[in-house]
């Protein structure tokens, strides 16, 4: 059984919102509540003119301490314009794992 990491979805949301000036953040704990695996949708103007890799590096740099304490981290990063287009097209993304059957990530516990 995995030990709690001390990292919470709410803590991640606050830090991302503050450090990345995010206009929308959705965090999903995919580890059954023990805080070992998270997925996220992040919308920030700081992602403008950045590649997917550069966006992930920006997020990972802001969450360096938290990422070191957890098992898995999966962000989806959008600019405000990309996010608006997703919503208009009816393809509003959710955090990866949000529409699952409730299984937990291997190596974690419920």
**CATH C-level class of 9-88:** alpha beta
pLDDT at 98: 55
Looking at the chain, the number of H-run helices and the number of E-run strands are 4, 3
Residue 29 has which token pair?
């704990």
Q: What is the pTM of this model?
A: 0.80
pLDDT in tens, 3-48: 567 899 999 999 999 999 999 999 999 988 888 899 999 999 999 9
Domain boundaries, the chain: 9-88
């Amino acid at each position: 059984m995995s030990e709690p990491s001390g990292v919470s979805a709410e803590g991640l949301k606050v830090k991302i919102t503050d450090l990345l000036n995010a206009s929308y953040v959705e965090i999903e704990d995919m580890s059954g509540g023990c805080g070992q695996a998270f997925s996220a949708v992040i919308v920030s103007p700081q992602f403008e003119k950045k590649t997917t890799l550069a966006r992930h590096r920006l997020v990972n740099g802001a969450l360096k301490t938290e990422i070191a304490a957890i098992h898995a981290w999966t962000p989806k990063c959008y600019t405000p314009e990309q996010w608006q287009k997703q919503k208009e097209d009816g393809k509003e993304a959710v955090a990866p794992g949000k529409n699952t059957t409730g299984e937990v990530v291997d190596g974690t516990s419920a």
